[in-house]
Amino acid sequence: MFRNPNIRISDYLSNQYHVQELIILISSLIIGYSAVSFGYRYFLYNSMSFAFYPILAYALIKSYFYGRNIESGVFGYLFTAPLKRMTTLLVSHFIDIIILPSAIIIEISLLLYIKFFYIPVEDVVLYWIASVAVISLFIAAGRIIGVFVRDGIASMGVLFAAYEAISIAGNSKNKADIELELYFHLNLSSIDPFYILIESIVVLVVSILMVVISSRLLLNFGLKSGR
């Protein structure tokens, strides 16, 4: 499978079984359905709320693959190649968090233009940042879980349990908890734009730190060679 030393590392780690394309296709159908809404702001809010579900699904799938790759020895095999391991792990995370949110935002922008002949650029950019931050945190959490449990199904299950915990926290009467839950579900209609930006920056910084920590742990735990 990896006979060529110049293997396409990022493709293999980031897009196994063309999951990215499948999720983009599914999200296109979901978001396209929301185009029946009236008013561009209502459409934008609805679309971002719908976009959360393909983002969550993709993060869960990536968590599964990450845990399975550790369990099966894929990383151990890949890292026998002459490459910078930390850089490879960081680049694969960057690819994971950029492509899907970008595809979703591009589609939303095109539908807005087709339906309303107008694209609210500031809102679209802000919501793109929020979607990148959210998917980054979920995938980063999945990586840390995968390093410890080293099992695909368990990694996905623990990550989903963590998501449920966030949802339950939103059921409290605390305003901060409610806004946090709304943010992570990309239900941004009632959240101040400044809060969205600040929260996104904080979440991105935290997620990158989590990726660095999980990568250090992975490299220091000792990787078995792939089959």
Does 97 or 46 have the greater pLDDT score?
97
Which pLDDT does position 178 carry in this prediction?
76
Biggest distance spanned by C-alpha atoms of the chain: 57
The count of structural domains within the chain is: 1
Residues in the chain: 227
Residue 35 — pLDDT band, cuts 50, 70, 90? low
Percent of residues, the chain, with pLDDT higher than 90: 18
Range of the domain at 138: 13-221
Query: Which tens digit of pLDDT belongs to each residue from 171-205?
Result: 666 677 778 888 888 888 888 899 999 999 999 99
Q: Is 156 left (phi over 0), alpha (psi -120 to 50) or beta?
A: alpha
The reply to whether 103 falls in a domain is yes
Query: Which tens digit of pLDDT belongs to each residue from 56-81?
Result: 888 888 888 888 887 777 777 777 76
The DSSP-derived string for the chain is ---STT--HHHHHH-GGGHHHHHHHHHHHHHHHGGGSSSHHHHHHHHHHHHHHHHHHHHHHHHHHHHHHHHHTHHHHHTTSSS-HHHHHHHHHHHHHHHHHHHHHHHHHHHHHHHHS---HHHHHHHHHHHHHHHHHHHHHHHHHHHHH--HHHHHHHHHHHHHHHHHHTTSS-HHHHHHHHHHTT--TTS-HHHHHHHHHHHHHHHHHHHHHHHHHHHHH--PPP-
The reply to whether 227 falls in a domain is no
Which pLDDT does position 213 carry in this prediction?
92
Query: Which tens digit of pLDDT belongs to each residue from 98-139?
Result: 988 898 888 888 888 887 788 888 999 999 999 999 999 999
> Does residue 20 contact residue 58 with C-beta atoms inside 8 Å?
yes
